[in-house]
Amino acid sequence: MSKKTVMLNENKNYTSEDSSLLSIYMKEINRIPLLTREQEYNYSVRANKGDSFARKKLIESNLRFVVNIAKKYQNQGLPLADLIDEGNIGLMTAIEKFDPDKGYHFISYAVWWIRQSVMKAINEKGRAVRLPLNRSNELFQIQKAAKALTHENGADPTHEMIAERTNLDVSVVDRLLKISQDLVSLDSPVYRDESESSIGDFIPSTGMLPDQTVMEFALTDDVNQALSELSEKERSILEYRFGLNGKSPMSLKEVGEIYNLTKERIRQIEKRALGKLKDTETHQSLEAYTA
C-alpha cells in the first residue's frame, strides 16, 4: 500500500500503511470546526497574500469534505487513503486559485478541483486501460445515476433509463458500463471492519458485498445536526429515503406506504426538506454529498 501522507497537520504524519491510523485521522479532522463565511473570506484573502497560517486553516477546516468526495470513488483501483491524498492535493490547488472577491462559497469551488485530482489519479494509477478524463467523469455520472435509479425504483435500471437521466447516448452508457465491468481487478481494495482487503478475498463467499461504510461514523454528527433543523416528519422521511441512523434505504413508494401518502407527496416533502437543509447554517458540512 502507498505510504503517502494523509494528515496535513504539521505535528502529525499519519500514513495509509495502517487503516487504524486512517480511522484516527478521520476522528481528528471531524473535530476541526468549520469556518463561518466571514472567517472563510478573511482566511482566503490572507492566503492569497501568502499567509501560511491562513492557508493551513483553510486546508484543515475542509479536510472532511475531501474524505466525503474520495469515498465516492472507492473500489476503482486505489486505496481510500490514496484517494484522500489526491483529493487533498486538489484542495490545495483550489486554495491557490480561489478568488474570494467573486463571492463563491469556497467548498463549492473546491469540489471541482478535488474531484478532478481524484479522477486523474484513478485514470493514471487505478485502471488497466486509461480513459480520457471526460469519459471517466461520464462513467462516474453513469454509476451515480444507476445507483439513484435503483434506489428510486427498487430495481436495476435499464441502460436507456440511465442514458435519459444522464443526457448521454445509450451507446456511450453501454460502452462505459462494459469497460467498468471488464476492468475490475482482483487486487482492487475494499474495506471491511476498518481493515483493507481485496476483491479477490471475497470471491469464495457468496452474497458478500464489500463494506463501503467504514468511514461513515465520521459524518454522523454533521448529518444529525442538519436533520435537527427539520420537522419530525421531514427528518424521518429523509432517514428512510437515504438509509440514515440505522434505517434501510426505501423507495418513494415504500415510504409513502408508511405514512399513508402518495409517492408524489413523499417526493414533495423530501424536496422541501432538502431545500431547508440548504438554507441552514449546517448545510456546508453536507455539500460534498451531492458533488
With contact defined as beta carbons under 8 Å apart, do 109 and 96 qualify? no
With contact defined as beta carbons under 8 Å apart, do 272 and 234 qualify? yes
User: Residues near 117 by Cβ (< 8 Å), separated by ≥ 6?
Assistant: 86, 87, 89, 90, 93
Classify 95 as helix, strand or coil: helix
The string over 20-42, giving b where at least 16 C-beta atoms fall within 10 Å of a residue's C-beta and e elsewhere, is ebbbebbebbbeeebbeeeebbe
C-alpha R_g of the chain = 20
Of 167, 174, 176, 86, nearest to 125 (Cα)? 86
pLDDT tens-digit series, residues 239-271: 889 888 778 888 999 999 999 999 999 999 999
- Cα–Cα distances (Å) from 87 to 72, 136, 197, in that order, read 12, 16, 22
**66/243 Cα distance (integer angstroms):** 22
The string over 86-100, giving b where at least 16 C-beta atoms fall within 10 Å of a residue's C-beta and e elsewhere, is bbbbbbbebbeebeb
The DSSP call for residue 195 is: E
Q: What percent of the chain has pLDDT over 90?
A: 19
For residue 110 the three cell numbers come to 473546491
Write down the pTM of the prediction. 0.47
Of 69, 72, 102, nearest to 286 (Cα)? 69
Distance of CA 208 to the CA centre of its chain: 23
Of 250, 210, 249, 244, nearest to 230 (Cα)? 244
> Within 10 A of 242 (CB to CB), how many other CB atoms are there?
16
Could you read off the pLDDT tens digit of each residue along the chain, which spans 291 residues? 333 444 444 334 434 444 677 788 888 888 898 888 899 999 999 999 999 999 999 999 999 999 988 888 887 778 888 889 999 999 999 999 898 888 778 888 888 889 888 888 877 765 544 455 556 667 778 878 888 888 888 788 888 898 888 888 888 788 777 766 544 444 555 544 445 555 455 444 434 333 333 334 435 656 777 788 889 899 899 988 988 877 888 899 999 999 999 999 999 999 998 888 776 655 555 555 444
Dihedrals phi, psi of 94, to nearest 5 degrees = -60, -40
Classify 175 as helix, strand or coil: helix
> Within 10 A of 113 (CB to CB), how many other CB atoms are there?
20
Dihedrals phi, psi of 5, to nearest 5 degrees = -75, 135
- Count CA atoms closer than 13 A to 197's CA, side-chain side: 15
**Domains plus CATH for the chain?**
19-125 (1.20.120.1810), 133-202 (1.10.10), 216-290 (1.10.10.10)
